[in-house]
Structure formats: C-alpha cells, structure tokens
A and B are shown apart, each in its own frame.
Chain A
C-alpha cells in the first residue's frame, strides 16, 4: 500500500508534537518577559531613559548657586587669579550643601595636594598660563595657605 505518498511514522508525530509544545511555551514566555517599554524609541527599554535622567545630582550648577549665600567671599575673589574658577573645583560637590548647608559642610583645610594638583611643576604644564612651583622647594614644607589666601592668592596674608 506504500504508494507514492510518503507516510510519516508515529515517531515523527510524537517528536513533532513535543517540539510544538516547547515552541508554544517559549513564545508565551517571550510575551511575558519582554518589558512593556521595550521598542518605544528604538531597540531598547524606553523606561531606561528616565532612569538615566533621574540620577542624584552632586555638583550644583555653578558659582551662581553659591552666590546666594556667599556673595561676600565671591566679591573677595574680585578679578583675581582664581575669580573664574568654580567654587566647587576646590570645595567639592555642593548640591547637598545648597539644600541643607548645616548638615553638609564644604569647609576645606589648606591641603597642600589640592593646590599642588594645579600648581606643581610637572612635565606637560610648561607654557600654560598658570604659575607653577616645586611645592617642597617653594615653601620648604610649609602649608600653602600660610602665605596665600586661596581667594586672593597673590594678595598676601601677612
């Protein structure tokens, strides 16, 4: 009775059924596990944009934010050498301080390394518009702020 039609055997049918069941489970799972916002703006999860945009801010926008309370110090800077530098460059992230000044202090001691990070003589700085010194030889180990007021660096303290 073989005839011209191919007869598939029981084994093929059994395996075929198993495969179809597996595929059905897989595609159902796929519907379940693909996040809702995926594909909104492209091949990625749309919600992620908002997540990336909502991280905590650490640095306040700029000196303008500090001026509200610290106008005196800022006018001290005048047009001296450090006038155009953002306060946070030396004082660190200011957003928390701006929101609750007493809880987060931005007071910094005269850390030699801080001044040295810009002003020490290292290869690469030559020819730039910044005064450089060898920190040890210049002051013999004395802290920079003993002679230099950071807000008026060449004004002289004594």
Chain B
C-alpha cells in the first residue's frame, strides 16, 4: 500500500475473472464482426473464415458467463438478475443482452449449417446420426427454395447481430464508464474504447486461429483472406489507439483533482503493463501489420508478421482489460494512495484464469468436428503448388462448404 487508502479498499474487489469477462466478450464481438463483414457487407475475400469466426464466437460465448458467475459472492442467486433486473443498472443488462445475443448466434449457426445437419443425419452412423437428426428439429427440406430462405434469414440475423454484438460489449464499457467514483474508469469514451479494442482482439484472434487451423490441417492459407483481415485490423487498431491515448492526454491536459493520482498509477504502479504491453505492443503490431501489407515482402514473411502481430494484439488487449479493471481499483478513491494487487493462485487466481482461457479452444475443437467450418476451394499445400485465388466474382454455390460438396459428388 502506498500513501493513504480508505480502510475498505485494502481488498481488490474485482479480480482476474472480471478481467476475463470483457476480454472474452470482446473476442466474441470481434469474431462476429468478421463473420458479418462477409455475410452482411459481402466482402467475399473473408469467405474462408466466415464460418470459423461464427463458431469461435459461440465457443467464447459459452465460456464468458462462467468467469462471471464464478466471481459472484453468491453464485447460486445469479438468476436474480433475470427475475428482478434493476433497470438503472448497466450490469442488469447482462442477463437479457447476453441471452438475446446467444440466441441470435445459435440461430444464425443453425440456419447456416442446416443443410449440413440434414446431410449428416443421413450419412453419419449410429448415435451421431441421431444427434444430427435431433439438431435439425425435423426441418429436413433442403430444396433450393428452402435453402434460399435459410440464406435470407441468416443475413437478417447477421444484420440484427451486429448491433447486438455492439451492445453485448458496449454495455460492459458502460459499466465502467458510468462510475463517477472511479477517476480511471469514468469517461463517456469507455464503451467506444471497449468496443473498438474488442473488434481488434477478435480480428487478431481469427488471424491466429485461421493460421493455426490451416497449419494443423495442412491447408494452404488463403493469402487474400489474411490480407483483408489485416486491412480491417489496421483500421480498427488505429481507431482504438487514438481513443485510448486521447482519453489520457485529455485528463493530463485538464489536470483536474484526480490527475496526479492517475499519473502516479500509470507511471509508478502499472508502467510495465500500461506502457509496455498495452501501448507498446499495440504500436509495434501496427507497424508490423503495415509492413505485412506491403507488396515488397514475401508471402511467408507477410504471414509471419501477421500472426506475430495477432498474438501481440491479443496480449495487448488482455493487458488493457487488466489495466482498466485492476488498475482502476488500485487508485484509492481518496486520491491519496494506491492499493496492492496480490495475484492469487487458485481462488479467482492464475490457474482458473488460464483454464478459462484454454477452455474456449477446446470447445472450438469439438464444435469444428461437429460443424465443420471449412469452405470450398481450399488447397492442400502438400499436393499442389498453385495458389488458387478466391476472386470477387466467385458466386459459385455459396452454400456448399467443402464437406457437403464431396457428398453431392
């Protein structure tokens, strides 16, 4: 403890699990935006990752509330949030916004995969076949007309999904931004900063996951797809950086009563995490991404830079969540001192946090087996040297991913 803190501030109330929740929902929002860039805005170059993005979003969406409920003092009463939400509380939004968004994502995945579910129910043996049959909900019509309707519904869901994803992560930003008692949190920019850094982390995640799954499956990475993701990442990264830095510069310039305490926080209490990881990695990644987009580097170098950049951004956004959640609580409300954060091992500690970070990928692996997201047109990089490019006028059968095309044949 440095200086003077109010006696009740000795214990840091919101720990690693609360750092995790915005991080995971941020990844969800980002992954969903990538998927929607294809489904709503028709950016065809992103087709190879469109389904992967959606099931990644689902995997993360399933783990996020686990972190939240584990943190509660009385987790068994968690459903009170659904029965009697207090409408003046941003946190009360969690129950309904999350449920609504989960339903949207589940529906979009269902409509997107319905044809595959029907085909699998017919071809897969035993229990698996029965499982697929149940998942089809008995809607077995896969005629051209039915599939066309599916596609329309899917697009509609994706359109509804974009503001829902914005809400899902924006309200978390508002939870922090609307607390006048905490000078590090209180700013109207908080929901926007959270959302922009969420999109950044989601795109970065998808770059890394796409690269990893291609390596594992020995498939050639679609370079155009990667470069398109790079492009959007650069745009959102720049926006997120500008807003984050603007906020601090503004505080420093106005130099209100809380400025010395804030300055002390970032320069003495969390300098490594703030300047080193959050700001530093963000700037480094920005330049790496710009270089990766240059025509002068080879594809291999470009890929390496993109993936490295993606990993650095994932670390940077995690650090940002930590700096906001824990950093904000380290500043005493007396503005006269700082608390200390003792990183626990087990109870809301490092071990379960790492568990919560790994769990979505395990779920993703399972989902990828059940609902293969791989799109047509992929080339095994062991058997061919050609680079097959997915061009803009590639309108051939949007609705047959790699697996069902082999079934048709």
Contact = CB atoms under 8 A, between A and B. Distances in A.
B83 A34 contact: yes
Consensus secondary structure, chain B interface: helix
Contacts of A13: 139
A141 B241 CA distance: 65
Contacts of A33: 79, 83
A15 B141 CA distance: 14
Given A18-B137, A33-B79, A11 B146 contact: yes
Contact of A15 (B82, B87, B137): B137
Nearest to B145: A9
A19 B137 CA distance: 12
B341 interface: no
A43 B92 CA distance: 13
B303 interface: no
Given A18-B137, A19-B103, A11 B114 contact: yes
Nearest to A17: B137
Contacts of A38: 84
Contacts of B87: 43
A9 B150 contact: yes
B139 A8 contact: no
Contact of A10 (B103, B107, B146, B153): B146
Contacts of B350: none
Contact of A14 (B79, B103, B138, B149): B138
Interface in A22-61: 26, 30, 33-34, 38, 43
B110 interface: yes
A11 B111 contact: yes
Nearest to B137: A14
B133 to A, nearest CB: 13
Contacts of A30: 82-83
B86 A43 contact: yes
A25 to B, nearest CB: 12
A9 B137 CA distance: 13
A6 to B, nearest CB: 8
A18 B134 CA distance: 13
Contacts of B111: 11, 15
Contacts of B83: 30, 33-34
Contacts of A34: 83-84
Contacts of B82: 26, 30
Contacts of B139: 9-11, 13-15
Contacts of B110: 15
B138 A12 contact: no
Contacts of A14: 137-139
Contacts of B153: 11-12
List the 9 closest pairs (A to B, CB-CB), nearest first.
A11-B139, A14-B137, A9-B149, A14-B139, A9-B146, A33-B83, A10-B139, A34-B83, A10-B141
Interface of B: 79, 82-84, 86-87, 103, 107, 110-111, 114, 137-141, 145-146, 149-150, 153
Interface of A: 7-15, 18-19, 26, 30, 33-34, 38, 43
